[in-house]
Amino acid sequence: MSTLETLWTDLLRHRTEFETFHLRDAFAADPQRFTRYSAELDGCLTLDYSRNRITDRTLTLLELLLDQAGVREAYHRMSAGEKLNGTEDRSVLHIALRGSVASDLVVDGETVLEAVGAVKDRLYAFAHGVRDGQITASDGQPFTTILNLGIGGSDLGPRMVTHTLRAFHDGPEVHFVSNVDGAHIRDCLETLDPQRTLVLVASKSFTTQETMVNARAARAWIASAVGEEKAGEHFVALSSNLEAVEAFGIAPDRMFGFWDWVGGRYSVWSAIGLPVMLAIGPERFEDFLAGARGMDQHFATAPFRSNLPMLLAALGLWYRNIWACSSVAVMPYDQRFEEFPSFLQQLDMESNGKSTRIDGSGVLRASGPIIWGAAGTNGQHAFFQNLHQGTDMVPCDFLISARPSKADAYQHELLLASCFAQIEVLAFGRTQDVALAQLLEQGMAQDEAERLAPHKAFSGNRPTNLLLYEQLTPKMLGRIIALYEHKVFTQGIVWGVNSFDQWGVELGKELAGQLLPSIQAGARQADEPAIFHRLKAYREN
């Protein structure tokens, strides 16, 4: 048996030590538990993981697991340009977009940081031009609205970041359309003025079906207002396919490319981040990059017990593989951060939702969990009942800022109290005896109190992590996104999967392309799904 497998066995045996463990008792026995099981970065970001079913022995075993899997070595190989994405024969260098590789690194014959800097200079010049009115619409007037057309990483990343940083917007208003459902773009266009709108078409290949269908619809909308000859002046391409971009009618100087080593779900740091730059300005976008760069350095150098991404990753492995928890709930207590769980769904589930290891063999244990969640306090009135009293244990990540960004102070204090209360109840619960005593104190009759007490008892002992940060600024958001990127990377290395391909996404696209002609033709084909009978009947009514 390999050393790695021995460690998994040791962790399984170690779990038996928790048969009588409860967080109530752990905190009562160790008043310094928070100090021992928390880590801080730069005096403004704290990970409190004290409310987990762990001891020092747990952390020792998990650290050995990450060491044996070679997490640090894998990160160094990634930073050196090694093609970690073996199924697509690509390097993985989104970290280079924020400056976290050697200045002399050369990949595919190109000095990486030099190439990144050149594209970024063009992006920043363009963003400044639009924001200060030097780059105008076809009538010579400023653009006041940006419409980003993309899907997957070309939508989820920039949309989440733009929405989250709404308190810092001082540029054009930004809208996002992703779904091929025509209602999405129609509903959006109804609210916009085509003469004042700049459209960003975000597709590396410039062939993504959903995006290009929406791009053609947007072009027709623009052309109806400004004329076909001038329509191209209202478009920008975030792509690497010059021929297709020019065929669409977008000038080369309105095209901003990126590289094969930038995966879609890691692309918000690249030209795909242009809507963010337009909304908050290049200077704040630099702060966003700087936050991520700082997290890169922290991940690469900090020891395990103070390394935030490694701790989150290790705890995730503990619950996924030792406690058989199939999902993780993510609750940002900030309404502007409401898109974060959806962003993490792609980052985590598209990266590590794999059943095949890098060497082609099957995974040896469960890999990527289901990621879900919602902004607090909305989630409290939707699914927290299940988290508190349901039959499944669901590890939870809570995120909240100490200070709000342009929000009422009292309301933020209420938000903080709500967040901390949920964490406390999940950890410590309420025994049936305590529930009974409280009901009797309220004057309830003994028999009625005894009947009701079981329903008002909470088991507690449910694990949570809390990320507490000073304020949700561009720099802090960069830190947090990079933190989760490195968490996902770490878990992928331990599971032995390629976290940077997504073949499961491609198969659905292929089949959709095969079925489309039958749907368009409306004729029965011998091998088409039987449900097409019903579909055609409904369409003919």
Active site residues: 350, 381, 509
Q: Which residues contact 40 (CB under 8 A, 6 or more apart)?
A: 46, 47, 306
Residue that is written with structure tokens 């003025």 in the block: 193
Q: What are phi and psi of 247, to 5 degrees?
A: -65, -30
DSSP state of 143: P
Peptide bond into 164 cis (omega under 30): no
- Our measurement of the distance from residue 266's CA atom to the centroid of its chain's CA atoms, rounded to an integer in Å, reads 9
- DSSP class per residue in 18-47: GTT--HHHHHHH-TTHHHHTEEEETTTEEE
CA 205 to chain centre: 22
Q: Longest Cα pair distance anywhere in the chain, in angstroms?
A: 82
Question: Cα angle at 485 between 489 and 126, to 5 degrees?
Answer: 135
The label of the residue with tokens 């242009």 reads 274
Question: CB 383: neighbour CB atoms within 10 A?
Answer: 17
Amino acid at 394: V
Cα torsion 46, 47, 50, 51: sign: positive
For 407-516, strand residue ranges (E) read 464-469
Tell me the residue type at 451: R
* Radius of gyration for the alpha carbons in the chain, expressed in angstroms and rounded: 26
Distance CA 85, CA 101 (A): 17
CA gap 189, 177 in Å, rounded: 10
Tell me how far CA of residue 422 lies from CA of 58, 167, 316, 317, 342, in angstroms.
25, 26, 20, 23, 21
Structure tokens at 291: 């936050």
